[in-house]
Each structure stands twice: as C-alpha cells, then as structure tokens.
Amino acid sequence: MSYNLISGMSQQYFHTIPSDTDLITTTPTREGIFKYLSQIGFDKFPEFILDILTKIEGHKALDVTDGQGDEKQDIITINPQGERCLTQCKHTVDYKSHYNGDDLDLMVAACMRKNCKESIFATNSDLTPQGKKYVTDEEYNRGFINPKDCPSINYWNGYKIWEKIKTNQDIINKWFSGLGQVHGLRSFKFDLTIYELPFNKSKLNESDAFDNFLNILSKLDWIEEISNGLHYKATISDEIQVNIKRWFQFTDGLDLNFVLPEDDLSFFNKPLFALTIEVVLNDSKEKFTPRLIQKTIIQKFSDDVLNNLDNKNWWHLTASQIKSFIYLHDISEPREIDLTSAKTVPNPY
C-alpha cells in the first residue's frame, strides 16, 4: 500500500515574538517597595500617610496625636463623605514583621472613643493572613446588633501604599528624591519601519514601495516637505508637532524577536526602510503618554497613506523603542532613555 502526501500553503504571515521587556513593569519588586517605605522613619511616617490622605484620598486634616505603643500615632481627618476618619500609623524597620487582628480590634474601640465612622490601619509592612481575614470578613462588627453602627476598617500595607503614590509626582519627589528627581524634556522619538509584504528575496528594488509611500505622504495637507524626500514637518494636532526624516533601521536594533521569513539568516542584518519620528509637544504642563501619541501618529499614516496604496499587497509596520532625553538635575547631565519597548503595529490596509 502506498501513500501520497499532499501539502500546500494558502497564505503566509509574519509575526514577531514579544520581547521579554514587554513582561516587565516599572513598579519595584514587592520587597523593594517595603524597603523604600521602611527608610522613611517612624517619626516621619505619619506625615507621609497624611500627605496620601490629603493629596490623593481627598481628606481634610484635623489632628495628629501620639498613641499608646511603640512607634504608633493616630491621624484624625474628615473623609470626602464628611465623616471623621481615624488612621493608625504603625511603622517598623523590620518590614518582614506583620501585624495581626489584635491591633485592628483596638482600632474599633479607638474609633468609638473619637467618634469616627471610618478607620485605616496604615503600615509600611503588612498584616498576617489572620489580620487580612479580620478585615475582609468584617469580623470586627460581629459584636454589634446593628453592623452599621460599627466603624468600617480598611488597611494599607506597603504594596497598597505604593499603588496609591506611584503616579503622584508631588509625593514621589518629596519622599523619594532618588526615584523622582528627573526632569524630562517634552519631546521623544522613535523609528517606524515600513515594509511591503509578502516578502520576496528576488525583488530587485525594494525602495519603490517606500518611495511611493513618501510620495503620497508629501502631498497631504498636514505635511510640509522641508528637504526633497528626506525631511518633512507634520502637524498632528495643536499640541503635537512632528519632524519626519527618511532613515533606515536594522532588525537587530528593534528589540524584537523576529520569525525569519523563509529561514533567511541575512534578514538579521537587513536594513529596513524607516521614518525617524521626532515628536515635540507644546509647553502645556499636562501629563502625556508617549505610547498613545505614537499610536495616534501611526494611525494617521495608516488612514491617510496606506489606505491609498495598492491593496494587492500588505504592509509590515514596526515601531522601535520610544526614546527621550531626561535631565538629571542632581548631576547636571542629560541622558537618553528608552520609554517603551519596540512593537509591531496592526495595520488593516
């Protein structure tokens, strides 16, 4: 008996494997967070927590009082609902030591004495599993006939505290000068590689498609050609001005893991046609997200240029790392840093 094996290929795709850097977050490790907070010092910890309450949580400060026990202070505030709130601060140099439910039991009695409807147990370390269960299961209100008469209890451990403050530059700069004291210039840049597919090693002149792209680009009303085919200026919006320069990019400089087309090893060193996109923002003090601005620019290229090209082929777009200059004022020197990793860009055309 003989068999005939039949194989075929209906369509060919090119993909990139996500870089390891895409899996990394900018948040410090859990242990690192606890270390940062333990360095504040027990005498300054209540002031630090009060900053979070007033600048992030919307509380109004009333009083800070010394309490019983080692390194413990109480903060009385008015929460956004107009209720009195008691925050108990427990700081420890040994951030690996945890507090249990006994400390929370004492808070209930303290709230009743001070006429507070809300309480927060704030520590730079953490609660034991028993202590967390005490809060999540609301075990503290079991002795009350009407549970609504019992003050609510919440807890902030080191990790929760970091989640609250990590995007607040006022607090980061005040309490963690080593983390926050950089001043960024309101500009950044990235390379956008533009490659026509399907991949064809025998194609004699791959620049024809890229030149066609630039030809359409140069005729758009939001583009101004500065140098013949080499330099353009674009107005994306009132807030975003862009310089566009014709350039090239190598695959090994894109911080991406490519699946090699047709197992062609020369693809690693192959120069890809690219545009260097230099983004300059206006003098507004508002915060911005480079990745979203990058997405807006690329989408505008897709809508106004790629949509008008021959649809018999398709396009592979890769945005390189977004880079920016920052100024480290402590040492008075600028540095270029990566703000994001590279990524391939979905293109519908």
Domain boundary among 160, 180, 200: 180
Q: Mind listing the pLDDT tens digit for each residue in 309-320?
A: 766 677 778 888
Same domain, 207 and 341: yes
Residue 77, domain extent: 30-180
Q: Which of 120-124, 235-239, 241-245, 310-314 has the lowest mean pLDDT?
A: 310-314
CA–CA separation, 273 vs 193, rounded Å?
6
CB atoms within 10 A of CB 29: 9
CA–CA separation, 176 vs 272, rounded Å?
42
Domain boundary among 161, 180, 199: 180
CA dihedral sign of residues 253, 257, 258, 263: positive
Residue 248 tokens read as 């090239």
Domain boundary among 118, 149, 180: 180
Angle between helices 158-165 and 45-55 (to 10 degrees): 50
Same domain, 340 and 192: yes
Supply the pTM of this predicted model: 0.49
The pLDDT value given to residue 15: 46
Same domain, 211 and 330: yes
CATH of the domain at 72: 3.40.1350.10
Q: What are phi and psi of 282, to 5 degrees?
A: -70, -175
Domain count, the chain: 2
Q: Mind listing the pLDDT tens digit for each residue in 146-170?
A: 767 788 889 998 889 988 988 787 8
Q: Mind listing the pLDDT tens digit for each residue in 72-100?
A: 568 999 999 999 999 999 888 877 778 87
Same domain, 214 and 317: yes
Pick the closest to residue 192 from 274, 247, 268 (CA basis): 274
Question: Is 162:134 a contact under the CB 8 Å cutoff?
Answer: no
